[in-house]
Structure 1
């Protein structure tokens, strides 16, 4: 199956039945800090973090199928990143579609086209964001409306980051990813660096040397690091507890941080890596971003006011 309509067609809110939805955004996230505060008996880690949406996005397109089948097409993109062993039929977008289809009992299907721009195995939540955007878009395409708690349960079953991407904006996240408190953040610019090597999340969380007993923080403590009228957050707040383990496994993370330091920027790893980022405090102070080896990705990003699908 191929996409016959122009991919530039806008997302529609027309009356049922919809035949397609195009240009559905799935934004990446950065973890401003990430603390591991404990571990449950079932092995899941308890965390605290601020998740921030940025304007580095995948784009998804959906065409209705009346035969109940769910298919997935990789549309390709010059920015597409290799480094995942998942086949298109096994990725989170397809799993999200199947889970929603089962939950709402629809006989309809979908063909999903994915333009992948967010690097894989980067700690930026690309797959989780794709899954959340699928859940939101397919409710509209199929004309179904699950109760929020049911949709959140599906999201959590797909992965710890997926519920955040359903929440509509930046958030203070706790528990195993299911406790989400909306958080307002001031506009800010960042440099994001992704080395060629990716890191599987499970390998980082299962490392024996991972620190799992960081003292519990508070939203108030995080907000206290805001200074000045623009509330420029001090990245001295907290740390990423996964970063030391990730750097041992992937020395290129350290190289990325060292490179940022040569540019006068204070870097930190996001999520379980391997991407790192640094805030640009003043747009006029943007340094020369050349000099990375071939195969490394670098991008200047802004945080978003809200998720592009907020309110769906």
Structure 2
């Protein structure tokens, strides 16, 4: 059960940062600059990180959950998101930020991007900046291609390099998500010489019609073009898929892995998961719980 956000003039607590699953993921081409052109449907689920924000008047941004004496890496997306918002607006306020990390890393579930998006949404509110959702998404794109999706806050048909988003309605569903201990290198997967990059483009209207007419089958739409390469890089992905298959569940990888998911059948026994695997039953959300926090 998700805990309600607690809001005061100087604090925001229990701010959720939900994960996403890729219903499918097709690579339909490649730009001259090397970026891959994709089609996908991103779906919000109720597996979340949680963030807490406390207002500072001195402009400093502190991740107070970091180990004492350590310096946060430059790629820390929460700190970068806060600093990018300050730079874009000239805001002189700061924040102490605590991140309770529950989402696995290197899973293909967008955890870091979601943390950055929730930071933008929360500090826009705490600092009373009143930026629109479009303005926040523009800042978010400088942090990562998935950040605008989480700022947008709705399940979406995704194209381009991930920046072209069209809201799409999905039937409610429950899913078992499995993450093995090892992760998959996104760079290695996209850089593979055997990656399929010429899948025939799908049509949004066709997907939407299938979702309406055959809601139970929509989770089988298309494929994940990254999966075969990722399985070679991280064999445990194959182990997860085989484990779920033996239980009668049809699984596929999400994003660039290494998490996999399958529509959940309630009677399925998951108690024999190997040690170290994270196994969670999730529901999808129609919209981000923070969507009402800004307009546009």
Shift of 1:231: 2.1
Does the CA-based 8 Å contact 1:21-1:62 persist in structure 2? yes
> Which segment drifts farther, 159-168 or 147-156?
147-156
Q: Provide the residue aligned with 1:155 in structure 2.
A: 140
Say whether residues 1:287 and 2:272 are aligned partners: no
SS in 2 for 1:34: strand
> 2:279 matched to which residue of 1?
298
Match of 1:37 in 2: 28
Secondary structure of 1:300's match?
A: strand
Residue 226 of structure 2 corresponds to residue 237 of structure 1 = no
**Hey, what's the Cα distance between the residues in 2 that align with 1:277 and 1:125?**
14
TM-superposition CA deviations, 1:156-210 (whole Å, max 9, x none): 1111111100112211111111111111111111000000001232222122211
8 Å Cα contact 1:73/1:113 also seen in 2: yes
Hey, what does 1:81 align to over in structure 2? none
Whether 1:98 and 2:83 are equivalent positions in the alignment is yes
Q: Secondary structure at the match of 2:131?
A: coil
Structure 1: distance between partners of 2:132 and 2:291: 16
Compute the TM-score of the two structures, normalised by the length of structure 1: 0.87
Gaps of 5+ in 2: none
From 191, 194, 219, the equivalent of 2:204 is: 219
Give unpaired runs (5+ residues) of structure 1: 1-7, 77-85
- Structure 2 residue 95 is the aligned partner of structure 1 residue 121: no
- C-alpha distance in 1, partners of 2:35/2:234? 23
Q: For the structure 1 residues 44 and 89, does the alpha-carbon distance in structure 2 shift closer, same or farther, using more than 3 Å as the test?
A: closer
Give every structure 1 segment of 4 or more consecutive aligned residues whose post-TM-superposition deviation is greater than 6 Å.
Answer: none
State the partner residue of 2:65: 74
Give distance in 1, aligned partners of 2:160 and 2:122: 27
Partner of 1:5: none
Paired residues, number: 288
1:146 equivalent to 2:131? Answer yes
Deviation at 1:150, TM superposition (A): 3.1
Q: CA deviation at 1:148?
A: 4.0
SS of 1:245 mapped into structure 2: helix
Which of residues 87, 101, 115 is equivalent to 1:130? 115
Aligned to 2:6: 11
Whether contact under 8 Å (1:95, 1:158) holds in the other structure is yes
Q: In structure 2, what is the Cα distance between the partners aligned to 1:163 and 1:122? A: 19
* Alignment deviations for residues 37-83 of structure 1 (CA, whole Å, 9 cap, x no partner): 1111222111110100001000000001111111113389xxxxxxx
1:111 corresponds to which of 83, 86, 96: 96
Q: Which moved more, 1:262-271 or 1:296-305?
A: 296-305
Q: In 2, are the aligned partners of 1:197 and 1:250 still within 8 Å (CA)?
A: yes
Task: Give TM-score scaled by structure 2 length.
Answer: 0.92
1-structure distance, mates of 2:146, 2:205: 23
- The structural deviation recorded for 1:301 is 0.6
* SS of 1:185 mapped into structure 2: coil
Q: Helix, strand or coil for the counterpart of 1:277?
A: strand
1:168-247 equivalent positions in 2, closer than 5 A: 168-226=153-211, 231-247=215-231
Deviation by residue 1:240-273 (Cα, 9 ceiling, x = unmatched)? 0110110000000000000000000000000000
Q: Does 1:54 align with 2:39?
A: no
In the alignment, the residues of structure 1 paired with residue 65 and residue 4 of structure 2 have an alpha-carbon distance, to the nearest angstrom, of 18
Deviation for aligned residue 1:117: 0.4
